[in-house]
Amino acid sequence: MTSSARLLIVGPQGSGKGTQGVLVAEGFGIPVVSTGDIFRANIKEGTELGQQVTAILDAGDLVPDELTSAIVRDRLTHEDAAHGFLLDGYPRNTAQVAQLDEFLTGRGEALDAVILLDVPREESLERLRLRAIEQGRSDDTDEAIAKRLDIYEQETAPIISVYAERGIVDRIDGVGSLDEITERIAAALAVRGLAQRV
């Protein structure tokens, strides 16, 4: 048993992957690396990267793969990610999977598990509508939401079969209470010998 883990959490917009990702990462004592959060922080701080990506995020489009991968590579070389990390929002298409593979292989590493949060489309749409009201994220407009869901179905869903071929995907029922879902994830990871610290 080990408390280190290299994880990816995937799910459609509104699946709750951001919330669950934080809880799972806390349990393992590993950092969450969320590309959406990195971009939003840069936009808020008005950095050069932030200025580069504002319009892209508002439209619900993807930031160019090479730029996104370079940012993730840089983040993963920080000390706190040496023994594991939880990726949220990256990789998001097969090109990014290849770029991540190249980086991890170069370090003699690989993802241990991919948590797929399964939530019916109606439920995710409902949660997104709520989030739009509660948080007022600038990309939670009807148009940007529709664009992001389309990109998820066309570009992100296919990465699941790539990882499924490697036998590392855990499909988790994402409908239930917060705690129930966290427990389902922990149980699936424990089967892989990935035990949380707490």
Show which residues are catalytic: 17, 92, 131, 137, 148
| Distance separating alpha carbons of residues 6 and 12, to the nearest angstrom | 21
Question: 39 or 163: whose CB is closer to ligand ADP?
Answer: 39
Nearest to ligand ADP of 42, 182 (CB atom): 42
**Rounded to an integer, what is the distance from CA 87 to the centroid of its chain?**
5
Question: In whole angstroms, how close is the CB of 198 to ligand ADP at the nearest point?
Answer: 26
Residues that bind ligand ADP (CB under 6 A): 13, 35-36, 39, 56-57, 60-63, 68, 89-90, 92, 96, 139, 148
Query: Which residue number places its CB atom closest to ligand ADP?
Result: 36
CB of 184: closest distance to ligand ADP in angstroms?
Answer: 20
> CB of 56: closest distance to ligand ADP in angstroms?
5
> How many residues does the structure list for the chain?
198
3-state secondary structure string across 40-78: HHHHHHCCHHHHHHHHHHHHCCCCCHHHHHHHHHHHHCC
Nearer to ligand ADP (CB atom), residue 59 or residue 195: 59
Give min distance, CB of 3 to ligand ADP, in A: 26
